[in-house]
């Protein structure tokens, strides 16, 4: 996850560099897939929400997910931060 200080700094540097050059700053891929067990699935969704919140708040313009079933969760997070810019 991006909660380590050096990874968070990397994320913010990527955003600054991309935006300085007129490019979109894309967040990293969430390498999770939905689980069939509801408790496990909630853990996955919580991890996705935490990671994507960090990315959105660092200024990323979008992100990747490994499974289409996680796209709504990522989109909710980015929509809350970016508003109409999504």
Please state, in angstroms and rounded to a whole number, the distance separating the CA atoms of residues 30 and 73. Answer: 11
Give the side-chain half-sphere CA count within 13 A for 20: 6
Please answer whether residues 86 and 78 qualify as being in contact, where contact means their C-beta atoms are separated by less than 8 angstroms. yes
Neighbours of 62 (CB within 10 A): 15
> What pTM was estimated for this model as a whole?
0.87
* pLDDT value for 39: 97
* pLDDT value for 86: 61
Please answer whether residues 60 and 17 qualify as being in contact, where contact means their C-beta atoms are separated by less than 8 angstroms. no
Domain boundaries, position 49: 5-85
- State the total domains in the chain: 1
Consecutive 10-residue averages of pLDDT for the chain (86 residues): 84 97 95 94 95 95 94 95 80
């Amino acid at each position: 996850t991006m909660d380590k200080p050096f990874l968070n700094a990397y994320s913010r540097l990527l955003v600054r560099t991309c935006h300085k050059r007129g490019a979109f700053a894309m967040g990293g891929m969430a390498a999770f897939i939905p689980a069939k067990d509801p408790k496990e699935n909630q853990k996955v969704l919580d991890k996705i929400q935490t990671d994507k919140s960090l990315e959105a708040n660092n200024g990323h313009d979008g992100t990747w997910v490994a499974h289409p079933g996680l796209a709504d969760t990522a989109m909710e997070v980015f929509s809350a931060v970016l508003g109409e810019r999504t």
